[in-house]
Chains A and B, each alone.
Chain A
Amino acid sequence: MEIFKILGLCLCALVLLDVLRQYGPTFAVLAALACCAALLALAARALEPVFAFAQRLSQLSGSEHFGAVCKAVAIALLAQSVQDLCQQAGQTALAGRVELAGKAAVLLAALPLFTALADTLLALLG
C-alpha cells in the first residue's frame, strides 16, 4: 500500500507548496526539492521488487553490459527529476544544463560499451 502513502504525500505537498509559493517562493522551491527527495525515496522502496527482478535478469543474461544499461537508466531518471524541478522553478536555462549534464553522464556510463563497439568494429573490418 505504498502507493497510497505516495499519493497522500503528493497531495499534502501540493497544498503546502501552493500556500508557500504565495508567501515565500524561495522556500517553496526548497520544499518542492525536499518533497521530491522524499517521494523518490518512497518510490525506491516501492520499486525494490522491480530492482530485484532487474538483478535477476542481469544474472540470467550474465552479460557485463547490463551494468552500463542500468547506470544509464538511473542517470536518466535522476536527471529528469532535477530537470523537472528546475523547470517548475522557472529556471529553464538551468534545466537545459541539467539535461546536458545527464547526457554527458549517460555517455560516460556507456563509454565501456562504445569502447567494446570500437573493438568489435575493428575486429570486423580489420
Chain B
Amino acid sequence: MLLCAAAAQPRALAWGDEPPDGGTQQLPAEWDQVVRDAPMTAEEFGAMTLPDWLGRLGDQLKRGWERPVRLLAKLCGLLLLAAVGQSLCADRSSPELLGLVDTVSALAVFLLCSAPLLTLTEALGGAVQASRAYIVTFVPVFASVLTACGQTGGAVLYSGFFFSAAILAADLLCRVGLPFLRMLLAMTAAGAASGTQTLPRLTAAVCKWTKWLLTLCATVFGALIGLQSVFAQSADSVALKTGKFLLGSGIPVVGHAISDAMGSVLAGMKLVKGSVGFALIAVIVSAFLPVLLQCCAYQLVFAAGELAATAFGAQRSGRLLAGLADCVGIFVSMLLFFVLVVVFATLLLVLLGTA
C-alpha cells in the first residue's frame, strides 16, 4: 500500500501543480480516460450556480415532458369523446351494450398508452445495460485509485462486494425486473379488457409488494456496504498511521520528512479519487435522470387521466389508468434502487478516508 502511494507520488504532485486543463494529462491513462468520458467533471459541478442548475433542469423538463403532456391531451380527448358517446346511450334498456362501449374506450386508452410505456421499458433497459457496461470498466480503475489512496480495504470491498452487487442488480433488473414489468402491464391490459375486478386488485397488490421488496433490498444493501466500508476504513487508517509512524521513527533524519511528504501525496490522491468517483456518479445520473423525469411525467399523466376518467364516468378506463400509474411507479422504484446502490456505494468510498 505504501509502495503504491510512493509510486503515485510524482504523478499526483505533478497533477496538483499543473493547471486543471493540462493536469489530467499526468494521470494514468485509465484514470484520465474515466475522467474525460464523464459528462461533467467535479470542477464543473462545483462551479455551477443556481441559474445554471435551473437552466439544465428546464432543458431536461422540456425534452422529457413534451410527449407525456401530448399523451395527456390525447387521453383527455379520448375520454371526453367516450363520455359524450356514453351519455347519448341510455343504460336502462341495455346496460351490457353500454358496458361494451366502456370496454372499447378502455381498450383505446390502453393502446394509446402502450406505445410510450414500451418505449420507456426499452429506455430503462438500455440505461441499465449501458451503466452495467460502464461499471465493468470503471470498478477496476476506481479500485486502483482507492489502492493508491491507501484504502486497500475499500478497494477490495468496491471490487468485490459492490461490483458483484451492482452487476447482480443490473442483471436482475434486465432479466427479471423488466419482463416482470411487461407481465404486469399485460395483466393490467387483460384486466381492462375483461372488466374483472380481481386482476386490477392483484396487479395493485403485486406493485405494492414489489416496491416494498425493492426498498428492503436497498436498505439491506446500504446497511451492509455502509458497515463494511466503515470497518475497512478503520483498518486502512490503522495501517496508514502505522506506516507513517514506522517511516517517521524507523528511518533516521529524513523519516519525518518522508512521512509528511506521504501525507501530502495522499491528500492529492484523494482529490483524484473524488474526480474519478464523481465521473461514475455523473455518468449514472446523466444516463438515468432523463428516464426518471419521463417516468415521473408519465406517472403524473396517468394519475391525472385516472381522475379525468373517474370524473367522466369511464370506470374501466379509470381502473386501467390507475394500474398503469402503479406500473410506472415500479419503473421509478427500480430506477431509484439501481441508482442508489451505485451512487451510495461510490459516494461512501469517496467520502470515507478524506479526513
Are both chains from one complex? Answer: yes
A-side residues, CB < 8 A to B, are: 47, 50, 53-54, 57-58, 60-63, 65-66, 68-70, 72-74, 76-77, 79-80, 83-84, 87, 99, 102-103, 106-107, 109-110, 113-114, 116-117, 120-121, 123-125
Q: Which 3 A-B pairs rank lowest in CB-CB distance, beginning with the nearest?
A: A73-B85, A65-B108, A61-B74
Verify B110–A117 contact, CB threshold 8 A.
yes
- Nearest-neighbour CB distance to chain A for B205, whole angstroms, equals 20
Contact among B77, B97, B114, B185 with A58 in the assembled complex (CB-CB below 8 Å): B77
Closest B residue to A83 by CB, please name it: B93
| CB of B105 within 8 Å of the partner chain | yes
Verify A61–B189 contact, CB threshold 8 A.
no
Supposing A72-B104, A113-B111, A124-B118 touch, asked if A60 and B97 sit within 8 A by C-beta, the answer is no
Verify B100–A63 contact, CB threshold 8 A.
no
| CB of B183 within 8 Å of the partner chain | yes
- Known pairs A61-B73, A76-B100, A103-B100 / 17 extra A-B pairs, C-beta < 8 Å: A47-B88, A53-B84, A61-B112, A65-B112, A69-B78, A72-B104, A73-B82, A73-B86, A73-B88, A80-B90, A83-B94, A87-B93, A110-B107, A113-B108, A117-B189, A124-B114, A124-B185
Q: CA of A77 to CA of B96 in the docked complex: distance in angstroms?
A: 13
B-side residues, CB < 8 A to A, are: 73-74, 77-78, 80-82, 84-86, 88-90, 93-94, 96-98, 100-101, 103-105, 107-108, 110-112, 114, 118, 182-183, 185-186, 189-190, 193
User: B186 — which chain A residues lie within 8 A by C-beta?
Assistant: 121, 124-125
Verify B74–A79 contact, CB threshold 8 A.
no
Q: CA of A121 to CA of B93 in the docked complex: distance in angstroms?
A: 34
Verify A80–B97 contact, CB threshold 8 A.
yes
Give the interface SS of chain A, mostly helix, strand, loop or mixed.
helix
Supposing A73-B89, A117-B110, A117-B111 touch, asked if A106 and B96 sit within 8 A by C-beta, the answer is no
Contact among B88, B108, B182, B185 with A77 in the assembled complex (CB-CB below 8 Å): B88
Q: List 18 A-B contacts (CB under 8 A).
A: A53-B84, A61-B73, A61-B74, A61-B78, A66-B108, A69-B105, A70-B85, A72-B104, A76-B97, A79-B94, A80-B93, A84-B93, A106-B100, A109-B104, A114-B107, A117-B107, A117-B189, A124-B114
Verify A124–B105 contact, CB threshold 8 A.
no
- Nearest-neighbour CB distance to chain A for B311, whole angstroms, equals 16
Contact among B73, B104, B118 with A68 in the assembled complex (CB-CB below 8 Å): B104
Verify B118–A65 contact, CB threshold 8 A.
no
Most A-side CB within 10 Å, residue of B85, B88, B104, B182: B104
Verify B101–A79 contact, CB threshold 8 A.
no
Contact among A47, A53, A63, A107 with B108 in the assembled complex (CB-CB below 8 Å): A63
Verify B94–A102 contact, CB threshold 8 A.
yes
User: B114 — which chain A residues lie within 8 A by C-beta?
Assistant: 120, 124
Verify B98–A76 contact, CB threshold 8 A.
yes
Contact among A58, A80, A117 with B94 in the assembled complex (CB-CB below 8 Å): A80
Verify A73–B101 contact, CB threshold 8 A.
yes
Verify A99–B94 contact, CB threshold 8 A.
yes
User: A57 — which chain B residues lie within 8 A by C-beta?
Assistant: 77-78, 80-81
Q: CA of A49 to CA of B96 in the docked complex: distance in angstroms?
A: 28
